Structure 1
């Protein structure tokens, strides 16, 4: 069997090309998951920080091609599998008004990010990246949006900064926001909408929601999945705009596809799940595989960027992403308050 694989040039070719860097990323991701399970630290944050510690592997040597492959291809595979968590039936149960508040919050936060970036004299790429990650689903959205944005010398640094920032802010929100729901005496549904509509990462939403009550946790998770569902249309719109600019000579020659393949995969899996064609056990397995793919890819992204470059991002970037976090919290809170009074 081994000889047949060798003759076909399959596994040996993979290992000699990108296997080393991929396996290193897997090991870092496993270590991050271990730290998360035993010490309560966010797995994405641990994968990122551990990856940064191994930056030297991405500079030269046998691991470099595999790290590039993992940060790009494995990332897109993980984002595509996220679609298996989405279904129309789940969303309908929340009601059109609350869904409208959540969707409006996503759009408004992205626009706020663009305006804030312009006000602080940051590039539009940075505004889209931070606004989209805060508005949709944290680190996963940051990596998906980064995949379709035109690259420049600051792209990797900005991605690392955004992933690091939204993960830290999401962890803080997981602790603080449940206290706010008790302070304002929200009922279970309002608490769930507030937590699911404002906290960045899915894991922190689940943690915050179920720390209040089971009902709050279920509503929060559902609301969060609606935000995750916005990932595909947002990436599609960005891709179309970037493609148009590429045609006008604002990007490096080659025009990106109008619909990236990983977005097609996301939409396909979401459609299949909405039609009930993906069994629950398979959907759960795909969600787990997606999470691992994203964890492995963020470890690789961490390896590609030095800590010094992250520190060069500046205080204005921190102000922007904190302002976006506060903005979406106030927006959703206001919307929910208006609907229930």
Structure 2
């Protein structure tokens, strides 16, 4: 963690925030995606791949089709980055030391598996730094799971209030005309706001991080939990696939793949420029 430092943490936070914001804006305004699909694709790029997509899909209570589309984009471009990064480094096209390359990989690659695979192709030092940097992004999943649903609910409430004010003006005119004609009008019942959904698994995620930071669990227990997590994630992916219609997937996924391609280019190039600039200043030396 000391090798990454505060600058590395700030870099990861910047990557997550910028990619979520850019992905949402580009997806909804340029590619015409609905906000849930746009944010799911963006989360897969910004945080930790398929795990982030599935977690945010649950938090937003989105459709399984949107989750499947977002996961597929993560798989495609995550694998592309995992093979491209070590290749470019091996060809001498990346002006980074193993430590700097590790920071770059951890800050921009999608899945933890992508980071481990690409990092080990560079060096042991690069793999360790890449994994540490990636874990910082993974830890940011918890606040994202709390903030994004809250912002969506807040936007829905604002939209409801705005439409209510507009319809209220028309209703008052109708009431006035009805009173003039001697007819009574029932008062409109107030609309109930959408209940805020709290993803409690995100809270447990933070609790486990805190416990693991201060308690040395037996390696056998950690290996067992890792196996169970992979098994559960695999079962979730299978269940996701069983609920998706292939034809509908093909019709709906085009814009999402274009968004994912744009985000992959942005995070790869932007991350490269950020790490390169920080290395010139003297960080990650």
Deviations 1:189-239 (A, max 9, x none): 111111111111111211111011111111111111111111001111012
Structure-2-length-normalised TM-score = 0.80
Match runs of 1:1-341 below 5 Å: 91-117=1-27, 118-151=29-62, 155-182=63-90, 183-245=93-155, 255-257=195-197, 259-276=198-215, 278-341=217-280
The question of whether the paired residues in 2 share the 8 Å contact of 1:246 and 1:255 is answered with no
Distance 1:252 1:156, change over 3 A: farther
Distance 1:249 1:290, change over 3 A: farther
The question of whether the paired residues in 1 share the 8 Å contact of 2:38 and 2:256 is answered with no
Provide the residue aligned with 2:283 in structure 1. none
C-alpha separation between the residues in 1 aligned to 2:143 and 2:223?
23
CA RMSD, 1 decimal: 2.1
Deviations 1:147-185 (A, max 9, x none): 12254xxx3222111111111211111111112223224
Give 1:283 shift. Answer: 2.9
The question of whether the paired residues in 2 share the 8 Å contact of 1:246 and 1:252 is answered with no
Give 1:279 shift. Answer: 3.8
The question of whether the paired residues in 2 share the 8 Å contact of 1:178 and 1:195 is answered with no
Deviations 1:30-61 (A, max 9, x none): xxxxxxxxxxxxxxxxxxxxxxxxxxxxxxxx
Distance 1:252 1:92, change over 3 A: farther
Distance 1:93 1:276, change over 3 A: farther
Deviations 1:250-290 (A, max 9, x none): 69965133x32111110110111112254444233322221
C-alpha separation between the residues in 2 aligned to 1:92 and 1:184?
23
SS at match of 2:252: coil
Structure-1-length-normalised TM-score = 0.68
C-alpha separation between the residues in 1 aligned to 2:234 and 2:263?
24
Give 1:316 shift. Answer: 2.5
Distance 1:297 1:272, change over 3 A: same
**Higher RCO (C-alpha under 8 Å, 6+ residues apart):** 1
Give 1:314 shift. Answer: 4.6
Residues matched between the structures, number: 247
Distance 1:291 1:253, change over 3 A: farther
C-alpha separation between the residues in 2 aligned to 1:209 and 1:135?
18
SS at match of 1:212: coil
Distance 1:252 1:279, change over 3 A: farther
Give 1:240 shift. Answer: 1.8
